[in-house]
Structure 1
């Protein structure tokens, strides 16, 4: 059995010996799951929230499963709570994200942790390292498809970038033992990429954390210096181009008073019109939940969203959602819990916002909360995933570890 405190482990991944000793052995009768991704930073969005929720759920519901997390950081070290960071350079203008560069080092860390199953949250250095480590160890590797890399490449670099990125993306996902898609939209993209070993598993939301009871509308309006008659829409997320922030801003500007848009995180360091109020990224989930529950409706304008975790958090907070009919968001909302927009151009969003407030917003808010409670709790997500991990582990025979110091 591999000894995590052995000097060769500390030497290979340059951990202090006392930090390396924090990597514990898996519990008897359980298995060791390692999650790895580059999409983990101080101001991360849905991927980090998914992993944080998974760690909490496993600790509470499946203490027999040891969970380790391998992510980029300022230096390579192991924390006492099972988080291992690997030194990676910060991306310029990347909101704290870091770009892993050493495939060899990343693979070495994964192999020396001796997982029984690995889940990769991307197909870049961590994803490829997971594939190589899984092959060397004889353990299954799951790819959770959190992003459509080809669509993002087209958006950021132009249409010329979509085809080569799609080819790279497709070839990587075809190599996983199993691929998880969070929506039918993403599953269709993966099927087009030739992925056959696949299942759909929607993400969830902590309905105790995101709860209408946390709302204090009067207090938030006072904090934002807005009058009581304000119709306050909110979006919380990264200031990424694909979030289509400009279209949301333009939609609210078209409507004018009493409509206002609150941007949490996405509006940082930007100068907006009087129709927009910005707050910094909120790291405290309790404070974020309080902000959401104090607003009147949520707004989402990415028609290519893979899933839309913010949408679930808003619904759980008792907010109706105005969003696209397309993509992952279109699978979460309908007229009973919000107002689907015909398009995400400013005119289309503005029309949908007006249509929502012409209806019984209070009843739609209650329906949104009920749907989050009945369909989207984290229990269903993680029970299905742990069952999948167990099935994959049972179908693989692990060879002896062969790695020289």
Structure 2
């Protein structure tokens, strides 16, 4: 298949064509030519779109798809198609399925099920058996089968010694350990950020300390053991500072932040809308400002949608009893484009996550594999249910003003365009 992208502004800091508007000719999945004007010939699939931008393909490091076990929330097939239409050429899938992704067979099931799609799927294996935090899972076997990291999704490792052993053991095969930053004893039964808003609304609070004390513990353990640690979805200013200090010490540490924790604050809670209930919770304006600055200066390495479809019967209930989680594919770029520059978005959604998780990075240059996200930076719009492609509709971004829309993606010799493109 031959595809010609006309007048595409290239966003790739690793490319000699960065910030230049060029035609891109792709033949059988490989970028054949990049030039000012490439003539269209018979048989070309030509893409000519308003304000077309292309970036190296985006990689989302925290995605939940439901299958196996929760197919009513999202199947692998449909989820990967939504990801592709939303600009993502790769996703790392969390082990919060039924059964839990805790062994070689479960890893191979996911990889085989995702074969042939435009968006690549990379499994994250559970760190502990059944994600119960008691016994370590079969990490080496899972890595041999294709797992790219190990963590218990949204479940902190309370046992200090277990995390210490995991960090030591994983060094034998260069494994990446993930540790969710939450101290359950301090968080208690909290459902929202502990602060002025939770007090006014009568909601049980989760203090920032519940996250920060866990981050501090994890960093102490990492300093003792060595190894590679990734802390997903931090949400507080103090966490940013703790990770900054650890990096200055030379520890092999990375972290991510969810888009909604960059974009929204706990002021959103005043409608008791359970779609705004997420884990970690929305924090304060001061936290959001610190997180955005942390992304800009590279202390926060990775941005994720933390895409987590939840059935309506678990969201259309009282706030305190609703399940945590929001979908995030469709709103990702529009939200980020309102608060960050394109180079920072590319670094945090493409370059750094691929480096950290050991995924092949393909720059935008001739003779390189075409792995591209296609989007427009213009046009503000109010995000609504008509913009949602996911099976579940639990978006935290409804009624928010976003800027820029995704046209789709190109990967694995497949062009996937969004319905509105």
Alignment TM-score, normalising by the size of structure 1: 0.33
Alignment TM-score, normalising by the size of structure 2: 0.32
Structure number with higher relative contact order (C-alpha < 8 Å, ≥ 6 residues apart): 2
Instruction: Judging by fraction of residues, say which structure has more strand.
Output: 2
